[in-house]
Every structure is written in C-alpha cells, then in structure tokens.
Amino acid sequence: MISKTKGIVLHYIKYSETSVIVKIYTEVFGLQSYIIRNLRAKKAKNKMSLIQHLSFVDMVVYHNNKSKIHNIKEIKSDYQFKTIPFDIVKSSLLVFINEFLYKTIYEEEPNKNLYNFIVNSVEYLDNTEANINNFHLFFITRLTKFLGFLPINNFSDKNNIFNMNEGEFQNKIPIHSHFLNKNLSYYFSLLLSANIDNTDSIKLSLDNKNLLIEKIIEYYKIHIPGFKDIKSHRILKATFH
C-alpha cells in the first residue's frame, strides 16, 4: 500500500555500500524502519543530510503491516534548521533529546500528541533566542507524559521528597534509594509545572542540573524495562561548564 506520511528521523545504520536503514517516528504509522537505497551513492548530492538527528521528512512509502522494514518511494525535507547546526549548545541539546527518543519510543502505533510534542519542541529550540540551558530538562520531564509515567506534581512544604518508584512527592524519605532530596525535589516540581518558554526562570546551579539529569535518567530506568543508559548527557556536561 502506497501512503504519505511525515516523519522524524531517530537513527540510521549503513545497510550496503550505498543504502541505509532508517528508524523514523512517523505521523501515520508510529515507529517504523525504512530502507533508503542509493542514499550514499556519489550521485546522491549530499542527501545524507535528510536523515541527520531529528530531521523532519515528508515521505511516500510502501507500507506493509506484515513487514518489519518498509521501502520509501519518495523522501524530502519537511523543515530546514535555521540555527541548530550552527549553535554548539543547541546542537548538543538536539543530540541529547534524540538519544532519549531513540531509547524510549518502541511503539509501532501512531501517537499524534507525542509526534506534535517532538515537532513543536524541536522547532522551538531551533527558533528561540531565549536562554535554553534548562530546555533538555524540561523536554525529558514532559516526555514522561506521553510515555505513560508522568509524575504527580503534589509538591508542598509537607510533601517535599520525590519518590521515584511511586512517581509522586511524599512527606518522608522512603526505605529505598530511589528518591530526590528536598532540594532536587523542589526544582523537579518547578520543571513539572513549567512551560517550554519559561524554563529559564528556574535557576539551577551546574551541580544541581547535572544531578537532576542523572536522577531523571534513573526515573526512566525504573519505569521503562530494559531502558539503556544515556551517554550524550556527558556531552552536555562539557557544554554547560
């Protein structure tokens, strides 16, 4: 069946001397794998740029529900980055959220809300001139909503310890080690209530920022079986110094 769909590129591997297999989160079919032939051929004229981190593409595909790898009839760019490729901070953030998405999205079912969240977030990152030092923290916190384990933001003077196993704030330290202390819990509650355009109002020290990233990664590991370790946040530590 020939279908049209937009998509977000998450990952690719070389398949042959001139072809690649690409993981694309599509608007119509959810997460799918596609083979793109002759993309790496000398005559392809830099078409590899189509499948870089979180590139938005517009495709005509041959979709077969019984197949694990589909063929692409046509593919073209659906959005041209304006600032991300030329900004080391933005490009580092893009690599980070790309890795998070690649390691958390498994469903071969469409999720329009998740798709729109990713598109809107990446376009905001590309177009904003605001401070984006907390953008990645906002993104991975809000992503939990679409993956099914959004924390309950019941933070208060009394409930000031975040229990990662339960996904909510409580009034005492749990008997296990999966929790945020009062300081990190406070900042985590601010992230949970933030909007994408006001994350710069959360004043985090570099140490707290790094600790919070580690704890949020731990939260993902608790709630996603088999969640693999994130490596690109080490790049962010070098970027935000």
| CA torsion, ordered 9, 10, 14, 19, to nearest 10 deg | -20
Superfamily of domain 2-77: Nucleic acid-binding proteins (2.40.50.140)
Residue 142 predicted with pLDDT over 80: yes
pLDDT at position 237: 67
CATH 2.40.50.140 positions along the chain are: 2-77
Q: 39 or 112, which is more confident?
A: 112
pLDDT bracket for residue 228 (50, 70, 90): confident
Main-chain dihedrals φ then ψ at residue 198, nearest 5 degrees: -130, 20
Find the helix or strand (DSSP H, E) in which 148 lies: none
pLDDT bracket for residue 19 (50, 70, 90): confident
Contact residues for 65 (Cβ-Cβ < 8 A; gap 6+): none
Residue 15 predicted with pLDDT over 80: yes
pTM metric for this prediction: 0.93
Distance separating alpha carbons of residues 154 and 161, to the nearest angstrom: 10
Q: Which CATH class is domain 84-239?
A: mainly alpha
Nearest residue to 85 (alpha-carbon basis) of 77, 98, 95: 95
Residue 93 predicted with pLDDT over 80: yes
Complete edge-to-edge strand list for the sheet that includes strand 161-163: 168-170, 161-163, 179-180
Question: What is the average pLDDT value for the chain, to the nearest integer?
Answer: 91
CATH 1.20.1440.120 positions along the chain are: 84-239
Residue 76 predicted with pLDDT over 70: yes
